[in-house]
């Protein structure tokens, strides 16, 4: 296939600027961005007149081939990434789960799963227990393996959940390594009580999932994580912000100057929980994820928070199970594997929901789907930009075409899709990944093994100035207090 590509006359969009220009690509890298580039006839020409040329999407939150709740997510690094490319996403960051408590074993296992990668990817690492070995391995992950973020689960009691002591130690360790701490914020003890309450009431169906872990438990854990991160003075990234409650805690902390990042996911932005009451189990169960999809109103509030900058970037939490796997919980919602799809739909649904509706600009769209993720995880401007020297991960979106999501036509291996039947304006017509056209005319042309592991360095921009603030704090503590001796 072509190693030289010229994209002609499109509106080239970056997070802070857009202009009509040509983009010339050679050997996987963007060589030139300017009007009227002349090339020879060994170059593939793509006409983008009237279309947007944008950085490929970066999904900060996915779970491909993950062992979870007694089963394994059905999309692997081939099917999940193929789906991503068909929807205009050219990179994702997946969560490595330790194997038998070992971070290194987890890392090796995920590198192995990713051998069939068809696009670039990076890793976060989940921390699910604490000892000296884990602390040492975190250092190894950052210094040797290119990981700069660690996720702590405040829920999933009895499996992944960490208590506050572990969370505190983890925050301290992250800070010392210049790594970003991420939290799944739900009060896990509260959830366990809520689940018991539902079972006692005889509510065993999917609606019990939503009822057992209401927004108040998400808001509480979000606030707690924020307060502990403030105490440690380290940046915090809250994954899958699903409720007004959690969003408001983030808004408050950011207003006070704290470095907190809030990541809403597509399901929380465009769905509501009414599906969980559907009488058909298969239909209801496909919407079970944690934190739960909330009542109508939370979705619109999260959209608004995204448009005003209270929340900064959009993920998917792509974590797919087919209906057979979801049916493990037919008699008991606690056994329904948690997770929904989205890696293929994110770019279209966010375009339609946020840009077509007039809530954000085209440049903001690029920021929340790509650039901000690249900046946070310290891979900008290699990723997240159309600049000379950036990787050639690019999409061409036609604002006048439309998209339709169906489970029958999607590229995920799952037999269901939570966005089944959705239509909207805007269509990703071309995806370029690593300088190759991988999606064009509705056809995928991917190459297993072509995806590269992207190493992410510590001390991203969120750490700017933290040392100075700490030094000032310590100096203030050490200033001697002048006391007079008590009179005899």
User: Is 292 or 381 the residue whose CB approaches ligand URP more closely?
Assistant: 292
Q: Using an 8 Å Cβ cutoff, are 25 and 11 in contact?
A: no
Binding of Zn ion by 75 (CB under 5 A): no
Residue 230 phi, psi dihedral angles, 5° rounding: -70, -40
Number of shown-chain residues binding Zn ion (CB under 5 A): 3
Binding of ligand URP by 94 (CB under 6 A): no
Residues in 160-219 that interact with Zn ion by CB under 5 A: 184
**Partner from ligand URP, Zn ion, none binding residue 223, C-beta < 5-8 Å depending on class:** Zn ion
**Partner from ligand URP, Zn ion, none binding residue 289, C-beta < 5-8 Å depending on class:** ligand URP
Give min distance, CB of 452 to ligand URP, in A.
Answer: 25
User: Is 317 or 391 the residue whose CB approaches Zn ion more closely?
Assistant: 317
Q: Which residue is nearest to ligand URP (CB)?
A: 338
Binding of ligand URP by 371 (CB under 6 A): no
User: Is 184 or 410 the residue whose CB approaches Zn ion more closely?
Assistant: 184
Among 12, 23, 183, 289, binds ligand URP (CB under 6 A): 289
Strands (E), 35-101: 44-47, 52-55, 57-62, 67-68, 71-72, 89-96
Binding of ligand URP by 187 (CB under 6 A): no
Angle CA(301)–CA(370)–CA(461) in degrees, nearest 5?
95
Q: Using an 8 Å Cβ cutoff, are 294 and 264 in contact?
A: no
Among 317, 364, 372, 393, binds ligand URP (CB under 6 A): 317
Binding of Zn ion by 314 (CB under 5 A): no
Give min distance, CB of 383 to ligand URP, in A.
Answer: 22
User: From the CB of residue 447, how many other CB atoms can be counted at a distance below 10 Å?
Assistant: 15
Among 334, 348, 44, smallest CA distance to 198 is for 334
Q: Using an 8 Å Cβ cutoff, are 250 and 223 in contact?
A: no
User: Is 48 or 266 the residue whose CB approaches Zn ion more closely?
Assistant: 266
Binding of ligand URP by 209 (CB under 6 A): no
**Partner from Zn ion, ligand URP, none binding residue 390, C-beta < 5-8 Å depending on class:** none
Binding of ligand URP by 290 (CB under 6 A): yes
Among 13, 86, 180, 223, binds Zn ion (CB under 5 A): 223
Q: Is 183 exposed, middle or buried (0-12, 13-18, 19+ CB in 10 A)?
A: buried
Q: Using an 8 Å Cβ cutoff, are 309 and 364 in contact?
A: no
Q: Using an 8 Å Cβ cutoff, are 256 and 240 in contact?
A: no
- DSSP calls for 239-297: -S--SHHHHHHHHHHHHTT--EEE--BHHHHH--GGGGG-SSHHHHHTT--SSPP--TT
Separation between Cα atoms, residue 395 and residue 405, nearest integer Å: 18
Among 10, 42, 47, smallest CA distance to 26 is for 42
Among 63, 175, 213, 298, binds ligand URP (CB under 6 A): 63
| Residue 129 to residues 96, 108, 126, Cα–Cα distance (Å) | 14, 19, 9
Binding of ligand URP by 157 (CB under 6 A): no
Binding of ligand URP by 161 (CB under 6 A): no
Give min distance, CB of 105 to ligand URP, in A.
Answer: 20
**Partner from Zn ion, ligand URP, none binding residue 393, C-beta < 5-8 Å depending on class:** none
Among 65, 207, 317, 344, binds Zn ion (CB under 5 A): 317
Q: Which residue is nearest to Zn ion (CB)?
A: 184
Residues 6+ positions from 332 with CB-CB distance below 8 Å: 199, 204
The residues that touch Zn ion, with contacts defined as CB under 5 A, are 184, 223, 317
The residues that touch ligand URP, with contacts defined as CB under 6 A, are 63, 184, 240, 289-290, 317, 319, 338-339
């Amino acid at each position: 296939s072509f190693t030289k590509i010229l994209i002609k006359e499109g509106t080239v969009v970056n997070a802070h600027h857009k202009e009509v220009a040509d983009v010339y690509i050679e050997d996987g890298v963007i060589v030139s961005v300017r009007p009227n580039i002349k090339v020879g006839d060994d170059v593939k020409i793509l006409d983008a007149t009237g279309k947007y040329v944008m950085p490929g999407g970066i999904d900060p939150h996915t779970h491909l081939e993950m062992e979870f709740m007694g089963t394994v997510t059905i999309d692997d690094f081939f099917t999940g990434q193929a789906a991503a490319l068909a929807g205009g996403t050219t990179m994702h960051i997946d969560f490595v789960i330790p194997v038998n408590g070992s971070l290194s074993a987890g890392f090796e296992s995920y590198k192995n799963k990713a051998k069939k990668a068809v696009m670039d990817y990076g890793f976060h690492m989940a921390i699910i227990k604490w000892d000296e070995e884990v602390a040492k391995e975190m250092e190894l992950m950052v210094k040797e393996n290119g990981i700069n973020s660690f996720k702590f689960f405040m829920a999933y009691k009895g499996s992944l959940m960490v208590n506050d002591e572990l969370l505190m130690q983890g925050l301290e360790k992250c800070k010392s390594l210049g790594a970003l701490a991420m939290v799944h914020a739900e009060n896990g003890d509260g959830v366990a009580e809520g689940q018991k309450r539902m079972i006692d009431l005889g509510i065993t169906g999917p609606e019990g999932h939503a009822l057992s872990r209401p927004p108040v438990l998400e808001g509480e854990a979000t606030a707690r994580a924020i307060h502990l991160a403030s105490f440690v003075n380290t940046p915090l990234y809250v994954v899958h912000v699903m409720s007004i409650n959690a969003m408001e805690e983030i808004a408050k902390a950011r207003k006070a100057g704290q470095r907190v990042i809030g990541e809403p996911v597509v399901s929380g932005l465009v769905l509501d929980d009414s599906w969980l009451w559907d009488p058909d189990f298969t239909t209801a169960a496909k919407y079970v994820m944690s934190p739960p999809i909330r009542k109508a109103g939370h979705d619109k509030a999260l959209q608004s928070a995204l448009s005003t900058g209270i929340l900064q970037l959009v993920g998917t939490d792509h974590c797919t199970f087919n209906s057979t796997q979801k049916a493990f919980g037919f008699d008991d919602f606690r056994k329904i594997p948690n997770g929904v799809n989205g890696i293929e739909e994110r770019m279209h649904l966010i375009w339609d929901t946020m840009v077509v509706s007039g809530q954000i600009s085209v440049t903001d769209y690029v920021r929340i789907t790509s650039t901000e993720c690249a900046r946070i995880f310290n891979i900008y401007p290699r990723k997240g930009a159309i600049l000379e020297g950036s990787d050639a991960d690019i999409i061409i979106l036609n604002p006048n075409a439309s998209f339709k999501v169906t489970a029958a036509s999607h590229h995920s291996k799952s037999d269901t899709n939570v966005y089944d039947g959705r239509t909207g304006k805007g269509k990703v017509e071309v995806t370029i990944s690593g300088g190759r056209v991988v999606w064009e005319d509705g056809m995928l042309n991917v190459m297993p093994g072509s995806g590269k592991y992207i190493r992410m360095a510590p001390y991203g921009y969120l750490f700017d100035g933290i040392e100075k603030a700490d030094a000032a704090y310590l100096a203030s503590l050490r200033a001697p207090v002048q006391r007079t001796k008590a009179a005899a």
